[in-house]
Amino acid sequence: MTPPETPTDGPANHGTASPAVSVCLDRPLDVLKKRSDFLAAARARKQGTKAMMVQARKRRDDDTVAAEAIRVGYTCSKKVGNAVARNRAKRRMREVARAVLPTFGKPGWDYVLIGRKDATAIRDLIELQGDLKYALRKLHAPAKPRTPQA
């Protein structure tokens, strides 16, 4: 299916791009679907924010996925609410990931966004984007060396 063509005549034609076509990203996001990918991300780095938990892992070279791909998965437990509430939270996380990950995410990484009860579905989208940006900065920061406890 092809998108509709942009009208060439009339006062409504102010731009050259069709309003019905979504923005194409340089690095489109791939979606995690296998349970093993979610479990691998759960064993990797984590960063919590007010509205979501973000898990991130760097993929190994032997994975069958393209090295430059950014993959993302979304999940909400039943603590978030009924199916309607969980789906609403996941829709909001998808929108935030679509806006933030192509810029702030790193190629070759997998991310899992986990919704929080009473926060993901009602938090402002700008604040959700800020939460994800904060989590990505923390996750990609160099690890601090641990000092031995005396």
* Residue 104's CATH number: 3.30.230.10
Q: What is the model's pTM? A: 0.76
In a domain, residue 17? The reply is no
Question: How much is the pLDDT for 146?
Answer: 76
The three-state secondary structure class of 150 is coil
**What share of residues in the chain are helix, strand, coil (percent, to 5)?**
35, 20, 50
- The number of distinct structural domains making up the chain is 1
Which one, of 33, 111, 115, lies nearest residue 75 by Cα?
115
> Rounded to whole angstroms, how far apart are CA atoms 10 and 87?
40
Residue range of the domain that includes 46: 29-140
pLDDT at 56: 94
Give mean pLDDT, residues 8-33.
Answer: 61
Percentage of the residues of the chain whose pLDDT score is greater than 90: 56
* Residue 48, domain member (yes or no): yes
Pairing mode, strands 52-58 and 109-115: antiparallel
Residue 7 falls inside a structural domain: no
Pairing, β 45-48 against β 29-31: unpaired
Mean pLDDT of 107-116: 93
Q: Across residues 104-121, what is the average pLDDT?
A: 91
Whether residue 145 is contained in a domain is answered as no
Does residue 39 fall inside a structural domain? Answer: yes
Establish if 8 belongs to a structural domain: no
Q: Does some domain include residue 18?
A: no
Q: Is the pLDDT of residue 132 over 60?
A: yes
